[in-house]
Amino acid sequence: MRELLSKSLVVVSVVVAGVFAVEPATASTATTLATAAERTGRYFGVGVQGYKLTDQTYVGILNREFGVVTPENEMKLDATEPQQNRFNFAPADRIVDHALQQGKRVRGHTLLWHAGQPSWLAGLRGTALRAAMLNHVTQVTAYYRGKVYAWDVVNEAFADGTTGARRDSNFQRTGDDWIEAAFHAARAADPTAKLCYNDYNIENRAHAKTQAVYRMVRDFKARGVPIDCVGLQSHFTANHPVPADFATTLRDFADLGVDVQLTELDIEGSGAAQAENYRRAVTACLAVSRCTGITVWGVRDSDSWRASATPLLFDHSGAEKPAYTAVLDALRCAR
């Protein structure tokens, strides 16, 4: 009797162990955006505002649905270096620490941007400005070394319109080579981080701005400038919808030898039409193997920088919208 009991216990323990073994999610068991994306080899992330980490509804959705976190504002120049050489990482650390404690990865946003500059930096010119901007890149990247998996090293350096020109900014006026100098400084400070160029309105391959970014990335790769990815912000509106050939744009960049990521996805609209646009954007990423992840730019519509456009996957109360279901279904059905 004892022998039969011990054998049955062995069988039970094997079965129980089997039940709790960590198996990769399947299409049917992937019940969150993060797990559904992970089964395709991608991440699904979100832009986070640190002061909302006391909001239980916000944190509940964040912890459950998303695998990568981007601080929406707390790593920008004015937040991290409010006075020259006086760094404040506390607001960003609050988000980074939460993400890492939850087993999530962090995208850093953004080291150099023409907007959101502290007054001391905006007042510099020439060699003093070039030294200060590269010191900023070095200090911030080094501080987060090993904690930030990908950096938006430079954000929005190209002008809108039909010229494909660089955006006129204080950084640009230090010389055309400011962007590559920033990438070299970031690589030196954290060789483990993926280094991205990030911009908006580069989703349509025919647009001059898209072509200008494409030429820069191609030139950087040819000259060994350390660039690993292109971030396409993917802010879509009624007047700037998801392009029919979005996947081709993504593939064009990827074929240069970089990853592509949708870094700030939000789509103006509501209901079935919004859901269909989200499905198209996600499907475009799924069609390109080096499209490594998607980040939506906020949790609930009320958290959005453009809340009135109701552009996100959860409504103001945190309820899932049709767009959420469309995204989850697209990820779960992906081959």
How many whole angstroms from its chain centre is CA 166?
Answer: 23
264 touches ligand G3I (CB under 6 A): yes
Residues 202 to 241 in contact with ligand G3I, rule: CB under 6 A: 233
Beta-sheet strands, E only, within the chain: 43-48, 68-71, 105-113, 150-155, 194-199, 229-232, 235-236, 259-267, 291-296
Which CB sits closer to ligand G3I, 40 or 310? 310
Q: Which is nearer to ligand G3I, 200 or 314 (CB)?
A: 200
In whole angstroms, the minimum distance from the beta carbon of 39 to ligand G3I comes to: 29
Distance CA 236, CA 316 (A): 19
Residue 74 touching ligand G3I (CB under 6 A):
no
Q: Nearest to residue 62, comparing CAs of 108, 103, 8?
A: 103
Q: How far apart are CA 107 and CA 68, in angstroms?
A: 7
Q: Rounded to whole angstroms, what are the CA distances from 250 to 131, 199, 203, 230, 262? A: 34, 13, 8, 9, 9
Restricting to residues 116-145, name those near ligand G3I by CB under 6 A.
116
Q: If 0-12 CB within 10 Å is exposed, 13-18 middle and 19+ buried, where does residue 89 land?
A: middle
Positions in 98-117 near ligand G3I (CB under 6 A): 116
| 60 near ligand G3I, rule: CB under 6 A | no
State which residue, 263 or 274, has the beta carbon closest to ligand G3I: 263
Among 32, 35, 73, 234, binds ligand G3I (CB under 6 A): 73
Least gap, CB of 247 to ligand G3I (angstroms): 22
What are the catalytic residues?
156, 264
Binding site for ligand G3I (CB under 6 A): 72-73, 116, 155, 200, 233, 264, 305
